Amino acid sequence: MNTLLTVGYVSVERTKQLLSCLRIPISAGAIQNMLEKAAVAAVEPVDRIKDKVSSKDVVNFDETGLRAAGSLHWLHCACSGPWRFYTVHKKRGEEGMEAMGVLPGFTGVAVHDFWSSYKNFKSAMHAMCCQHLERELVFVEETGRQKWARKLRKLLQSMCHAKNQLMAEGRTCFTEKELRQYMKQYDCIVAKGLAANPLPERIPGKRGRLKKGKIRCLLERFQDCKADILRFATDWRVPYTNNAAEQAIRFARVKEKVSGCFRTEKGAGHFARVLSFISTAVRHGISSFDACLSLRNGTALALVEGWDD
């Protein structure tokens, strides 16, 4: 039942209809109660999962919209390796991240996109998703006809490719010379881009902030966030992209298409908690059915404590 509601993304009403086809009469309220019981049973196991994620050296973060109780809410995700932790909150930014409870006090590397709220957590080091930057560089290249954009995109890709090749050979980092050469190329390309896109001149008598334009703002991001953008090259534990977290929350779109929104915020929270447990269990080799069974039998906590990283 809970497998259908969570991993299957099926709504309560459709679950009722499916069971009716199998001649299993059950009310929508009874199905909802089963999910609520599973969510209560998952409290301690999911707390352990949250602790595991919080203790990792590198964690991927992302968030996506999720409709609940007739309004837009946000599904927040923190994941590392086989560990997945989800929460639902009304706010997308710092308030929602704070309520999730992973980023406050986190001292590892937080991998994410350029959503500014992440940077408010000062105890963590930050690494930016280079795939997001590649998309922006392609846009600049195709619409602005700026040669520096293609050169910078190719440089990032070549650094990633070189890192992957060397890792396959057993290397754990670039040499100082290799890294210095890459940094020099990066700085040179960004400098050329800034020169080609100077700050606009202020019109006499006009107040307020100058509109720099998207291209100039992107270049300043490459300049100001250089250390975070190139974290994947200076620390080989850090991935080039934030794909792990992006893929981990992709189901939210499927859930909305298949079963629509959640009727209550509480129900959305129960869904996120149960899914945290089941998705983590599946990545530890446990079937979703057996994961749900462990919640029912009271063995879920013992399962989590026995899982390897």
Res. 305: pLDDT tops 90: yes
Residue 137's closest CA among 63, 224, 233, 214? 214
In the predicted model, what is the mean pLDDT of residues 21-43? 78
Q: Report the predicted TM-score, pTM, of the whole model to 2 decimal places.
A: 0.89
In the predicted model, what is the mean pLDDT of residues 44-51? 97
In the predicted model, what is the mean pLDDT of residues 86-111? 97
Q: How far apart are alpha carbons 203 and 299 in whole angstroms? A: 69
pLDDT digits (tens, 9 = 90+) for 100-147: 999 999 999 999 999 999 999 999 999 999 999 999 999 999 987 899
What is the pLDDT, as a whole number, of residue 186? 98
71-80, strands of its sheet edge to edge: 83-89, 71-80, 58-68, 109-112, 125-128
What is the pLDDT, as a whole number, of residue 255? 72
Q: How far apart are alpha carbons 61 and 66 in whole angstroms? A: 16
DSSP reduced 3-state for 56 = coil
Q: For 87, which DSSP code?
A: E
pLDDT digits (tens, 9 = 90+) for 175-222: 999 999 999 999 999 999 999 999 877 666 666 667 788 999 999 999
Q: How far apart are alpha carbons 22 and 25 in whole angstroms? A: 9
What are the chain's domains?
1-127+242-309 (3.30.420), 130-201+210-240 (no CATH)
CB 88 within 8 Å of CB 269:
yes
Angle at 196 between CA 146 and CA 203, to 5 degrees: 125
Q: How far apart are alpha carbons 273 and 253 in whole angstroms? A: 18
What is the pLDDT, as a whole number, of residue 123? 97
Dig out the tokens for 153 from the structure.
């995109």
Q: Which of 33-47, 135-149, 219-233: highest mean pLDDT?
A: 219-233
